[in-house]
């Protein structure tokens, strides 16, 4: 029974990460180019802003709480302590992943905050967030091997 619970927690963690990274990829690689090609001026910015807003609220309302909750639970279950985060191997990979995750959050926040005022910075931050998220996934795949 306990195994099943842990599997469920892990599933939620992976699912939520998948939605977040996959969502970003979809927006950047599919939605944005199409929107830029097919939609005109005012209309385009309205649509894009709406997409951004919805993705933002999904992040704050679902992704972030689930990710933090399941992440902390998994770490607790694996017996991770603050001290163990600095140990070479699993600890350091996890620590790097957490720091990179914080970077993703900072970049995403900056993206949201500058969309209107500094569109170029906002786009830069969107790409930073996307690539760094993939980096987090990369580090996650390294975890079990170490």
Partner 1 sequence: MPATFVRIERPDRPPPLPRQVSWHARANAIALVWALLAVCAAASAGPLGLPSWLPVHLFLLGTVTNAIITWTEHFTVALLRLPATSDRHQGVRLAVLNTGVVVLVVGATAALTPFAVVGAVALLGVVVVHTLALARASRGALAGRFAHIGAWYTAAGASFVLGAALGTMMLFDAAGPEVQQRSLAAHVHLNLWGWVGLAVIGSLFTLWPTILRTRIVEGAGMVARRALVPVLVGLVAGAVGLATGMRWVALAGIVVYAAGVLVCLVPLVRTGLRKRPTGAAAWSVAASLVWLLAALVVDVHTLAVHAPHEVHAVLQPLLPLFLVGFTGQVLLGSLTYLLPVVLGGGPRAVKANTALLGRGWPVRLATLNLGLPLTLAPDPWGTAAWALVLASAATFVLLAAVAVLRAWEVTASPGLVGTGLGAALTALALVFALGVPTDEESAVTPTGRTSTVDVALGDMVVEPGTVTVDPGDALVLEVTNEDAQPHDLRMENGTRTPVLAPGESATLEVGVVDGPLRGWCSVMGHRASGMEMTVTTTGDDLPLAEHGEDAGHGEHGTDSAGLTGERLDLSGEFTRGWEPVDAELDPAPDTDEHEVEIRVSESEQEVAPGVRRPVWTFGDTAPGPVLRGRVGDVFDVTLINDGTIGHSIDFHAGSLAPDEPMRTIAPGEELTYRFTADKAGAWLYHCSTAPMSHHLANGMYGAVIIDPPDLAEVDREYVLVQGELYPGEPGDAEQTARIHAGLPQGWMFNGAAMGYDHAPLAARVDERVRVWVVTAGPVGGTSFHVVGSRFDTVYKEGAYLLRPEDDGGSQTLDLGTAQGGFVETTFPEAGHYPFVDHDLRHAEGGAHGHFEVEEP
Q: Using CB under 8 A as the criterion, which residues of the chain lie in contact with partner 1 when the complex forms?
A: 86-88, 92-93, 95-97, 99-100, 103, 107, 120-132, 134-135, 138-139, 142
7 or 113, CB closer to partner 1?
A: 113
66 or 100, CB closer to partner 1?
A: 100
Residue 112 CB, shortest distance to partner 1, in Å, is 15
Angle 2-88-136 (CA atoms, 0-180°, nearest 5)? 65
Long-range contacts from 43-50, C-beta under 8 angstroms, 24+ separation: 49/115
Residue 38 CB, shortest distance to partner 1, in Å, is 19
Residue 54 CB, shortest distance to partner 1, in Å, is 21
12 or 45, CB closer to partner 1?
A: 45
The 10 Å CB-count burial string (b at 16+, else e) for 47-72 is ebeebbeebbeebeeebeebbeebbe
9 or 128, CB closer to partner 1?
A: 128
Of the candidates 61, 37, 59, the one whose C-alpha atom is nearest the C-alpha of residue 47 is: 37
Residue 55 CB, shortest distance to partner 1, in Å, is 16
């Amino acid at each position: 029974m306990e195994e099943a619970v842990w599997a469920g927690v892990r599933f939620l963690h992976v699912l939520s990460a998948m939605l977040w990274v996959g969502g970003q990829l979809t927006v950047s690689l599919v939605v944005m180019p199409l929107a830029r090609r097919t939609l005109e001026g005012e209309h385009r910015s309205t649509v894009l802003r709406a997409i951004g807003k919805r993705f933002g609220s999904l992040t704050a309302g679902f992704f972030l709480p689930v990710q933090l909750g399941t992440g902390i639970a998994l770490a607790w279950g694996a017996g991770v302590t603050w001290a163990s985060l600095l140990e070479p191997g699993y600890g350091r990979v996890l620590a790097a992943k957490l720091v990179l995750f914080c970077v993703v959050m900072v970049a995403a926040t900056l993206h949201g905050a500058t969309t209107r005022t500094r569109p170029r910075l906002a786009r830069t931050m969107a790409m930073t967030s996307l690539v760094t998220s993939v980096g987090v996934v990369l580090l996650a795949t390294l975890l079990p091997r170490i």
